[in-house]
Structure 1
Amino acid sequence: MKINENTLLEGHKVVLVPYNADHVPRYHEWMKSPELQQLTASEPLTLEQEYDMQRSWREDSDKCTFIVLDKQRWADTGVEEEQCMVGDVNIFLTDPTDPSVAELEIMIAEPSYRGKGIGKEVTLMMMCYGVTKLGVKKFQAKIGLDNQVSIAMFKKLQFQEASVCKVFKEVTLELTVDESVRTRLLDDTANVKERDYRQTCSNRQELVSS
Structure 2
Amino acid sequence: MRLNESTAVSTARALLVPYEARHVLTYHGWMQDPAILEATASDRLTLEEEYENQQSWRSSHDKLTFIICQPLSSPATAERVQAGVADAPDRMIGDVNLFLYPHEEDFAEDGDEMPSKVGEERVDCVGEVDIMIADQEHRGKGLGRAVVQAFLQYIWRHADDITDEYALDKGLIGRPKLRHLMAKIGQQNVRSVALFKSLGFEQVGEVNYFGEVTLVLRDLGEFATKEVPEAYKELTYQRDEETQNGQPGEQQ
Quote the Cα distance in structure 2 between the aligned partners of 1:11 and 1:40.
Answer: 25
| 1:189 shift after superposition | 2.4
| 1:190 shift after superposition | 5.6
SS of alignment partner, residue 164 of structure 1: coil
Query: TM-score scaled to structure 1, two decimals?
Result: 0.88
SS of alignment partner, residue 71 of structure 1: coil
The residue type equivalent to 1:181 in the other structure is F
Residue matched to 1:130:
155
Pick from 200, 206, 227: which aligns with 1:158?
200
Quote the Cα distance in structure 2 between the aligned partners of 1:10 and 1:119.
Answer: 14
| Residue pairs, 1:163-202, within 5 angstroms | 163-177=205-219, 179-185=221-227, 188-189=228-229, 191-198=231-238, 202=248
- The answer on 1:204 being equivalent to 2:250 is yes
Residue matched to 1:81:
88
Residues 14, 68 of structure 1: 8 Å contact kept: yes
| 1:163 shift after superposition | 2.6
Quote the Cα distance in structure 2 between the aligned partners of 1:168 and 1:192.
Answer: 36
CA deviations 1:151-195 (Å, max 9, x no partner) are: 01111111100133442111110011265324213xx22620111
Q: How many residue pairs align between the two structures?
A: 202
| 1:107 shift after superposition | 0.4
SS of alignment partner, residue 231 of structure 2: coil
Structure 1 pair 134–144 and aligned structure 2 pair: CA distance change class (3 A): same
CA deviations 1:12-45 (Å, max 9, x no partner) are: 1211000000100110010111110111011101
Quote the Cα distance in structure 2 between the aligned partners of 1:102 and 1:28.
Answer: 25
| 1:9 shift after superposition | 0.6
Q: Whose Rg is larger?
A: 2
Identity rate of aligned residues, in percent? 38
Pick from 78, 87, 99: which aligns with 1:92?
99
SS of alignment partner, residue 94 of structure 1: strand
| Residue pairs, 1:37-56, within 5 angstroms | 37-56=37-56
Runs (4 or more) in structure 1 with deviation over 6 Å come to: 77-80
Residue matched to 1:7:
7
Structure holding more helix per residue: 1
Residues 18, 65 of structure 1: 8 Å contact kept: yes
SS of alignment partner, residue 141 of structure 2: coil
SS of alignment partner, residue 99 of structure 2: strand
SS of alignment partner, residue 222 of structure 2: helix
Quote the Cα distance in structure 1 between the aligned partners of 2:27 and 2:230.
Answer: 30
Residues 12, 230 of structure 2: 8 Å contact kept: no
Higher relative contact order (CA 8 A, sep 6+): 2
Residue matched to 1:144:
186
- Uncovered stretches (5+) of structure 1, i.e. residues with no partner: none
| 1:198 shift after superposition | 0.6
Moved more, 88-97 or 5-14: 88-97
- The answer on 1:26 being equivalent to 2:68 is no
Aligned-CA RMSD value: 2.4
- The answer on 1:59 being equivalent to 2:105 is no
